[in-house]
Structure 1
Amino acid sequence: MRQRSRHINLLLAAAVLGTASTVMAAGPAQAAGEPTLTADPLSTWQTDGIVWAMAYAKGIVYVGGTFTHIRPPGAAPGTGELARTNFAAFDAKTGQPLSCAPAFTGGTGTIRAMKASPDGSLIYLGGSFSKAGSVGRSNTATLNTADCTIGSAWKPTVSSTVRAIDVTADTVYVGGGFDTVQGQTRERIAALRPTGDLLPFKATIRGSSVSNDPTPAVNAITVAPQLNKVIIGGRFTSVNGSLFGVHALAGLNATTGKTVHSFTGWIPNRSAVKALVNDGTNFYLGAEGSGGGVFDGRAAGRLSDGSQVWKDTCLGATQAVLPYKGVLYSGSHAHNCSSTPGGFPDIENRQHFLAQSISDKTILPWFPDTNDGIGEQIGPRALTMADGILWAGGEFTTVNEKAQQGLTRFAAAPDTGAPQVPILSGTSSSRGKITLNWKASWDRDNGVLTYKIYRDGVYLTSRNQDSRYWNRPNMSFTDTVDPGTQHRYSIEVTDGTNVSGRNGPVYVTAKS
């Protein structure tokens, strides 16, 4: 659920950890063992405002939102800034800023949606602006990726904010809160040629059950051209005149706009769909709600027939979803996933990134985190995959409890951190027996850790334990030694790649 309470840093101290790992299944579902990215953020430039949208094409990540400057990694606000008005471009691998920087101004001066053409030659942009670079535009524009110029062919007139874009080889679908496109009635969704010509595709999107946002809007679009199908999501209760059974999610014929899937019962009242994406087989959505009994999490459905594959029950306003190598990554501020396999109970500390098994929705041990940040205090708002690196943008001002605003990145390697070493204690309550006790540590991207015990400086034994930051079991080991002898013990933890420093030594004398 959307909440505005102050983000509270984790009380469980942890190093910045990470190696891609295969997780021990947690909960009733059995994850297929999908490896995740590391939770170690790469060095990334920052913005001085909110990132709402991102797109990737030909080695470049394009970032749009509401900001006026970017600054280097680790730099404090106002330090080393470069002027960038609501738009910036970065080298996808190095993260370095590029000179491509047309300003998007007018309207409310923000970019809300971005999508690359299938061939990567164009970036389609939508939002609330009246000028792109030096030319006038009406809430939409294109950018030529070859030379960073504003495109001249596609310049439709859209009556209000564009919040969603998806693109095929010959059609551009736009969604938002508008009523007209090119002077013709188009309620919240429209389809155009890359030339800007308006297509006959037409759907009527009306109504809303969200009391604090009564204006209907299409927030998300994903297109399956091979099935001639468009899935739309947003805040609405009526599609093409339907009175019942359609709420916040619908499947449309990609040519005519007629309803092909109603998704009855998927999205409850007071919830809206904020994100949609597909991988050619399934589509995935993220939802946000207000009040009790809402749906705030993620769901997966079949593109072919609209059937539901799975749906989680996490609370915490999901804003972005992205499937990659069997894992669904998402941005939210999840605070209660107690009924989802691998999930956590209702906790005060929100978790802003999640990774789930696409096969069965199990939450995998990948827990990089941000704070809620500025604006509406949602945290992450946008995700894009670029050359194997996950880029995330949003409202946050910290990542893994370190200052970092607006942007961050995660890769599959390198692993740069080790788990925190636990505190070791020891007692002897019977002759020749020494029992060591400690509390399991945890790792941001590994579920199972190995604990190595040393006696008198020599390796003795090891124990494995599955743990999460909200579930750190007590662990113990009983050693057999000569009665009356004293020994020193220490412990270290490894995630399979990195080894913590040893804790101790602890001196214990065995009972005689």
Structure 2
Amino acid sequence: MKTIPKILATALAGALALGLTGVGAPPAGAAPAGVAHPVVVSSDPVDTTPHVLDGQTEAVLDLGSRVLVGGSFSKVKRWSRPEVLTRTHLFAYSKATGVVDPAFAPQLSGKVTALLPAPDGMVYVAGQFKNVGGVAGASYLVKMDPATGAIVTTFAPTVNGMVYDIHLANGRLYVGGTFTRVRNLVRTNFAVLDPTTGKANATDVAFTAAAKGATRVMRFDATPDGRKLVVIGNFTKAGAVVRQNAAVLDLTATGGATVNGWTTDLYRYGLCSSSYDTYVYDVDVSPDGSYFVIVTTGAAGGPTRLCDSAARWETGVEGPATTTWRNYTGGDSLTSVAVTGAAVYVAGHQRWANNTDGRDFAGPGALPRQGIAALDPATGRALTWNPGRDRGLRAFRVVPTPEGIYVLSDSAKFAGEYHPRLTFLPVAGGTAPVVA
């Protein structure tokens, strides 16, 4: 899921300040534009992000002057104050000061996995929750007032299972997760919804038949022209055709979706550790839409497999595909990725990059890159940028905005500083990308 473009973010922020909700949507037929940066972001985190004191952060939405953060947590505090505030899986703060909004405290019964601005100035909130503040039917996917936390009851998809990811394109809301129904319609882990009512349209591309464990759609991202959607998860079929944990859909301006010819078996179950039912963790499409990068877990598997790797794929391929480049950690998980043009940021549990021949050790040519790395988009080689991040277990998302990148995780330190579970790295002070 891409972040929102700068124009929409500015409009939303202005609407909130004025108490308005009539913010216009991006043009029909387009997806939210990818964010391109001219430089690699600064390695010095902004000091004023709030401290999230337990659990993990999994979603962020930058509305300009105001930021919403979701995940699985219960305690937050202002970076410069000792007072601890109770916030159940979702909170808001001032980007300028880091002050946590005292009036915004919706009570969600489970974690938040995705946040997205709605065309009318509201916000879509997705996750594993079954109610919000005890409101009946407010489960898994809701539309919320970002100023008050009130639920918009006219949006009622009535999804019956967890929602992992959401994306707006072509005037429709694309939804992926572990559900089997939307209202009274069968929709298996993927659906295309009316963004106002939540009603599913006629498009029915089922993602099914996981080789092991629960079938699910975990992440997806669309090209800026709204014509393709890259989908990853735990499945072996998309629609009626075989697709091994990764697929590309062709989208239409009227909300249709069909599986196109792009295919690979390099992510099929059995190539990496059997401890995982699937090892694809995240995907991001480049700002120009020409390629995408997938990151994985899976334990060291060698250069002929894609375990514990980042790999670039070209979007325009309409048949059996192969990677443009691969970068291996040597046995540590990569769990999030963001492509900004200047760099491909990959984050997770890794110790190294450029470690093709390592097996839990630094092989020939390996470079230390603890917890986060920036890769060259053309070659996949690590850049010199190396702030370091406490590895933790997982970085859940790296989210670009026009001003920088957010890193959402379960770890406490970034660049040697205390930034528990939420870090923002600005474009200001960034440097030109240099391959190490």
Q: TM-score by structure 2 length?
A: 0.76
Q: How does 1:392-407 map to 2 (within 5 A)?
A: 392-407=407-422
Q: What does residue 129 of structure 1 align with?
A: 129
Contact 2:166 2:174 in 1 (8 A): yes
**What are the within-5 Å matches in structure 2 for residues 348-387 of structure 1?**
351-373=370-392, 377-378=393-394, 380-387=395-402
Letter in 2 for 1:297: S
Does 2:302 align with 1:288? no
Please list, as runs of the form range in 1=range in 2, the aligned pairs for 1:268-283 lying within 5 A after superposition: 268-269=268-269, 270=272, 271-278=278-285, 279-283=287-291
- When residues 140 and 94 of structure 1 are mapped into structure 2, their CA distance, relative to the original with a 3 A threshold, is same
For residues 80-159 of structure 1, the aligned pairs below 5 Å read 80-99=83-102, 101-106=104-109, 109-117=110-118, 121-133=121-133, 135-136=135-136, 137-145=138-146, 148-159=149-160
Aligned pairs for 1:178-193 within 5 A? 178-193=179-194
Q: Say which of 253, 262, 283 aligns to 2:250.
A: 253
Tell me which of 351, 354, 361 is aligned to 1:338: 354
Give, in whole Å, the separation in 1 of the partners of 2:415 and 2:265. Answer: 37
Instruction: Look up the equivalent residue of 2:246 and give its one-letter code.
Output: L
2:311 to 278, 295, 299: 299
Kept in 2: contact 1:281–1:302 (CA 8 A): no
Question: Once the 2 structures are TM-superposed, how far is the Cα of residue 237 of structure 1 from its aligned partner?
Answer: 1.5
1:38 aligns with 2:45: no
| 1:176 and 2:177 are equivalent in the alignment | yes
Query: Which 4+ residue blocks in structure 1 deviate beyond 6 angstroms?
Result: 347-350, 445-448
Partner-residue secondary structure (3-state), 1:149: coil
Uncovered stretches (5+) of structure 1, i.e. residues with no partner? 1-32, 416-444, 449-465, 469-512
Q: CA separation in 2, counterparts of 1:256 and 1:161?
A: 23
Cα distance in 2 for partners of 1:308, 1:285 equals 12
Q: How many Å separate the matches in 2 of 1:230 and 1:447?
A: 28
Q: Is this contact kept in 2: 1:276–1:283, CA < 8 A?
A: no
Q: SS at 2:372's partner residue?
A: strand
What are the superposed Cα offsets for residues 346-379 of structure 1, whole Å, 9 maximum, x if unpaired?
5897621111222222211121222233xxx22x
Contact 1:187 1:203 (8 Å CA) reproduced: yes
Question: Contact (CA 8 Å) 1:41, 1:409: kept in 2 or not?
Answer: yes
Aligned counterpart, 1:5: none
Q: Distance in 1 between matches of 2:433 and 2:224?
A: 39
Structure 2 match to 1:8: none
Matched, 1:313 2:319: no
**Structure with greater strand share of residues:** 1
- Which amino acid in structure 2 is aligned with residue 397 of structure 1? A
In structure 2, relative to structure 1, the CA distance for the partners of 1:355 and 1:74 (3 Å cut) is farther
Indicate conservation of the 8 Å contact 1:37/1:411, yes or no.
yes
Superposition deviation, residue 180 in structure 1: 1.5
CA distance in 1, matches of 2:342, 2:146: 30
- Letter of the aligned partner of 1:41 in structure 2? P
Change (3 A) 1:100 1:267: farther
Partner of 2:6: none
Any gaps of 5 or more consecutive residues in structure 2?
A: 1-36, 273-277
SS across alignment from 2:327: coil
Q: Report if aligned partners of 2:65, 2:96 keep a CA contact under 8 Å in 1.
A: yes
Larger Rg: 1
Residue 68 of structure 2 is aligned to residue 51 of structure 1: no
Distance (whole Å) between structure 1 residues aligned to residue 291 and residue 98 of structure 2: 29
AA aligned opposite 1:228: R
The aligned amino acid for 2:108 is T
Q: Aligned residues: percent identity?
A: 19
The 8 Å contact of residues 295 and 308 in structure 2, kept in 1 or not, is answered as yes
Q: Distance in 1 between matches of 2:418 and 2:152?
A: 37
Q: Give the AA of the match of 1:45.
A: P
Q: Aligned equivalents of 2:98 and 2:384: distance in 1? A: 26
Query: How far did 1:85 drift?
Result: 0.9
Amino acid at match of 2:222: V
Is residue 89–residue 100 contact of structure 1 (8 Å, CA) maintained in 2? no
Verify the 8 A CA contact 1:233 1:272 in the aligned structure 2.
Answer: no
Secondary structure (helix, strand or coil) at the match of 1:264 reads: coil
Amino acid across the alignment from 1:207? A
Letter in 2 for 1:404: H
Aligned partners of 1:369 and 1:400 also within 8 Å:
yes
Q: Deviations over 1:425-480 (max 9, x none)?
A: xxxxxxxxxxxxxxxxxxxx8999xxxxxxxxxxxxxxxxx9x7xxxxxxxxxxxx
Change (3 A) 1:295 1:173: same
2:424 maps to which residue? 409
Q: Tell me, in whole angstroms, the C-alpha distance in 2 between the residues paired with 1:39 and 1:69.
A: 27
Count matched residues. Answer: 372
Letter aligned with residue 285 of structure 1: V
